[in-house]
Amino acid sequence: MNFSFHPEAEVELNKAIDYYEEIEIGLGYDFALEVHSAIKRAIEFPLAWATLEGDIRRSLVRRFPYGILYSSEQDGIFILGVMNLHREPGYWKHRR
């Protein structure tokens, strides 16, 4: 299976990587690896994660307060957000 990003979700990911890299060299890389692992889990088990609203699910990122918001599509998953769990919970809803 494949995955694709909503353009705003890709921007979120890159900003978060930059943020963690500014805190400590290598931490942004670690964050990116954990996000990739969460995406991989969502691809392998697309229906295993909690449903937030409608068909949107959230795969949690280990070690970091983030979740990958996605919908399961015919050919993979579509990532709507790389969501900081401590911020506005419904900000992504316009991306559907």
Residue 78 falls inside a structural domain: yes
Q: What is the CATH number of the domain that holds 76?
A: 3.30.2310.20
Contact yes or no for 55/81 (Cβ under 8 A): no
Whether residue 12 has pLDDT greater than 70? yes
pLDDT at 78 over 90: yes
A 10 A CB-CB count for 61 gives 24
Q: Is residue 55 part of a domain?
A: yes
Local structure of residue 6 (DSSP, 8 states): -
- Residue 53, pLDDT score: 87
96 lies in some domain: no
33, part of any domain:
yes
Return the pLDDT at 5: 95
pTM score, two decimals?
0.89
- pLDDT exceeds 90 at position 50: no
Q: Residue 49: count other Cβ atoms within 10 Å of its Cβ.
A: 20
Residue 94 pLDDT level (bands cut at 50, 70, 90): low
- Match 């979700």 to its residue by tokens: 9
CA–CA–CA angle 13, 70, 72 (5° rounding): 140
Q: Name beta bridge partners: 72.
A: 77
Which residues span the domain enclosing 49?
A: 2-86
pLDDT value at position 68? 96
Tell me the CA distances in angstroms from 38 to 57, 70, 94, one per residue in order.
Answer: 12, 11, 23
Mean pLDDT to the nearest integer, 72-80? 91
Q: How many domains does the chain have?
A: 1
